[in-house]
Amino acid sequence: MDEQYSCVIIGAGPAGLSVAIAITKNSKKKVLVLDREKHPGGILNQCIHTGFGLTQYKEELTGPEYAWRVYSEAKELGIEIRLSTSVIRVSEDKVITTISAEKGIEKIKAQAIVFCTGCRERARGVIHIPGDRPAGVYTAGLAQKFINIDGYLPGKRVVILGSGDIGLIMARRLTFQGAKVLAVLEASSFVGGLSRNVVQCLDDFGIPLYLSHTIIDIVGKNRVEKVKIARVDENMRAIRGTEFEINCDTVLLSIGLIPENELAEMAQVKLDPATNGAIVDENYMTNISGIFSCGNALHVHDLVDKLAVEAQTVGKKVAEYISGGVFAESDIIVTHDDFIRYLLPKKISGKSDVRFHFRVRRPLSDVVLKLNNFERKFPYLQPNEMSSVLIPAKHFEDIEEGIQREIKIWIREN
């Protein structure tokens, strides 16, 4: 073994750096942060718009400014951050194999590992858009990199499929750069991104939004020439007679994000099919003792400030673990009803208060979330916004003992 650390964090984005800071502040253990990129900060480096840090720093920062704040704090604490280093394997016994130009192939042994590997965009093949395969079809994040990092304009007449936050923000960004955004299409009956981004990025610039619409054909020999669009029903089937065309040279896809967990799977970490993130308990530990997950690698967040709060919690738990702390066994399985798309943690001990994070499947108003005799009213819940609820430990006391203990969280509409 080349090196040993108390904790190795994979990913130097806002989650990874925030976890490292929290561990260092709550223990005196040796921490290492690894990242394959040349610069820390992750996806924030290409997010040059404002809106970051409002909760954490009480300021409106750009993505790079926010990343620099977190990175500077980590460096001031003396945290070791190793960039341009790719992790190529993680074993179940917490041995990490890395490769870099500086050190070649190395093996690092860790007492604890935290996966903060972020997420990736869904591409065209995921939703099987029919039609030609011309140039000019990009994910929204790639187009963002082209403009904000590389200085290239990906197109002049643009149609955006999907109303995720990156797509909405790119509609505004392309307009600033002189391109014409002809339409934003969303197959669902509700918007996928934050309401503020609909107002600030579409409404303020007169960009039309078509809900319950999708692309049914992309036409173009060498470059995109036009798209064919149709309205869809509740089963996402195109409705005949509603078709129309838009002439364009570019299609951007903003059709969702997927947590990056290939390395976690190598380590035999079990994933939740609903999120593609790890299944974790109330301590954010996976099914492998000493392996934790955090940030967009666990579940996709809508705000980096929420991610930072989660990372601070995870860091405290990891600090406790590597300092010899013993967690109560998480032997209670948490389930939910069909109103909820996903919920975490999936396992709890029942010995302490637990903050649950969840997303609903469709917009709901005037609802009550229930668990046994616990109730919490919500005036509204939106699929595009992560929600949370803190349930005190006393509400877990009546769970029956047995081979498999289980609780169910459910939502009632008033």
Beta carbons within 8 Å of 268's beta carbon, 6+ residues apart: 92, 287, 288
Stretch among 83-87, 133-137, 298-302, 394-398 having the lowest mean pLDDT: 394-398
* pLDDT, position 125: 85
Q: What is the pTM of this model?
A: 0.94
How far is the C-alpha of 167 from the C-alpha of 183, rounded, in Å? 11
Angle, CA 171 vertex, CA 167 and CA 172 arms, to 5°: 125
Per-residue pLDDT tens for 345-383? 999 999 999 999 999 999 999 999 999 889 999 999 999
Per-residue pLDDT tens for 59-97? 999 999 999 999 999 999 999 999 999 999 999 999 999
When pLDDT is averaged across residues 218-242 and rounded to a whole number, the result is 96
pLDDT at 389 over 80: yes
How far is the C-alpha of 220 from the C-alpha of 134, rounded, in Å? 6
Per-residue pLDDT tens for 250-263? 999 999 999 999 99
Residue 119 near residue 260 (C-beta atoms within 8 A): yes
- 3-state percent helix, strand, coil for the chain, nearest multiple of 5: 25, 35, 40
The 3-state DSSP class for residue 258 equals strand
Per-residue pLDDT tens for 89-138? 999 999 999 999 999 999 999 999 999 999 999 988 888 899 999 999 99
| Average pLDDT for the chain | 95
When pLDDT is averaged across residues 235-255 and rounded to a whole number, the result is 96
Instruction: Find how far residue 2's CA is from the centre of its chain.
Output: 33
